[in-house]
């Protein structure tokens, strides 16, 4: 019965005009969007080309050529931003048509490095493993993102450079990666290999870090014992939180004189407290 009703309704429908301008106003006023259609997402059927207005241009390979409203979004330099990649892709679709986002729209490996923090001598030993750990994490993320890049060889080159840096930083030899390692049938195995590398470096870094913490704690315990035996007053002052604050006088004003010189100020203060 339902099929018969649908056929009866279809038979009573009028043919779609060749131009949206020929559709009566009493019909267009019920549409949820204006004609001609500017976004293909507004329709699930294939309509005549005259029903679409597409003023989009091809997406440039250089993000500097983007329109001003979205130019600040690219290139993407922070890995955290990748969680919003679908949102950024939708913004690009508003102005351009494309299949994949070009490689130059990602600059994940050339982030501006922050100035390194000042380290104590106890911290220097763990620095190389820490750098290797960050590099292995980058390699993992690049493998997961390899499907976004048009050129598989470009991503292979980036990962190869990272693996060489890991070998240099952590003295951890790794097997070279080839383009076929990122193919669909082998990318899972490649990711597991890099994952195991990351775990091994993490364990080594964790052991080294714990050793550095123990050495750091031992250093301060020994210094406390030394103060207790050799610098008793310093030890007591530390326990009682008794500290001497530095006092500075820019000048001393007398009824008939203003003392400005540093040596003269010191002499006057000594003279005052001696009396």
Write the DSSP assignment of 110-145 as a string of letters.
Answer: SPPPPPPPP--GGGGGGHHHHHHHHHHHHHHHHHHT
Which has the higher per-residue pLDDT, 232 or 126? Answer: 232
> Residue 236: inside a domain, yes or no?
no
Q: Are residues 135 and 209 in the same domain?
A: yes
**Average pLDDT in the 28-34 region?**
66
Q: Are residues 137 and 220 in the same domain?
A: yes
> Residue 239: inside a domain, yes or no?
no
Per-residue model confidence (pLDDT) at position 42: 54
pTM for the structure as a whole:
0.37
Query: Which 8-state DSSP code applies to residue 95?
Result: T
> Residue 91: inside a domain, yes or no?
yes
Per-residue model confidence (pLDDT) at position 6: 72
Which of 43, 75, 105 corresponds to the end of one domain? 105
Q: Are residues 36 and 80 in the same domain?
A: no
> Residue 261: inside a domain, yes or no?
no
Q: Are residues 15 and 30 in the same domain?
A: yes
Residues 6+ apart with CB under 8 A from 259: 251, 252, 253, 265, 268
> Residue 263: inside a domain, yes or no?
no
Residues of the chain with pLDDT > 70, as a percent, come to 73
Which of 51, 68, 87 corresponds to the end of one domain? 51
Q: Are residues 78 and 175 in the same domain?
A: no
Q: Are residues 223 and 194 in the same domain?
A: yes
Q: Are residues 137 and 153 in the same domain?
A: yes
> pLDDT, tens digit, for every residue of 228-265?
777 777 767 777 776 666 667 788 888 888 888 888 88
Q: Count of domains in the chain?
A: 3
Q: Are residues 28 and 92 in the same domain?
A: no
Domain around 89: 57-105
**Average pLDDT in the 6-14 region?**
70
Rounded CA separation 206/189 (Å)? 26
């Amino acid at each position: 019965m339902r099929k018969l009703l649908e056929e009866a309704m279809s038979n009573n429908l009028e043919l779609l005009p060749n131009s949206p301008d020929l559709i009566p106003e009493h019909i267009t006023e019920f549409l949820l969007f204006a004609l001609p259609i500017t976004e293909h997402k507004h329709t699930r059927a294939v309509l005549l080309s005259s029903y679409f207005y597409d003023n989009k241009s091809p997406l440039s390979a250089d993000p500097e050529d983007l329109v001003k409203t979205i130019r600040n979004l690219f290139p993407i330099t922070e890995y955290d931003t990748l969680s919003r990649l679908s949102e950024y892709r939708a913004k690009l679709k508003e102005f351009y048509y494309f299949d994949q986002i070009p490689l130059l729209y990602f600059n994940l490996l050339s982030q501006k490095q922050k100035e390194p923090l000042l380290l104590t001598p106890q911290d220097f030993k763990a620095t190389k493993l820490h750098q290797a750990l960050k590099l292995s994490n980058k390699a993992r993320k690049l493998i997961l993102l390899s499907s976004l890049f048009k050129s598989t060889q470009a991503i292979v080159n980036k990962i190869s450079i990272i693996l060489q840096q890991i070998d240099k930083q952590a003295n951890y030899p790794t097997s070279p990666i080839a383009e076929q390692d990122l193919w669909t049938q082998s990318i899972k195995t490649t990711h597991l290999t890099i994952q195991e590398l990351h775990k091994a470096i993490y364990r080594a870094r964790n052991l080294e870090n714990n050793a550095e913490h123990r050495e750091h704690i031992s250093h301060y315990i020994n210094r406390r014992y030394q103060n207790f035996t050799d610098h008793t007053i310093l030890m007591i002052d530390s326990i009682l939180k008794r500290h001497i604050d530095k006092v500075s006088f820019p000048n001393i004003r007398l009824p008939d004189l203003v003392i400005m010189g540093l040596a003269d100020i010191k002499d006057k203060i000594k003279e005052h407290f001696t009396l």
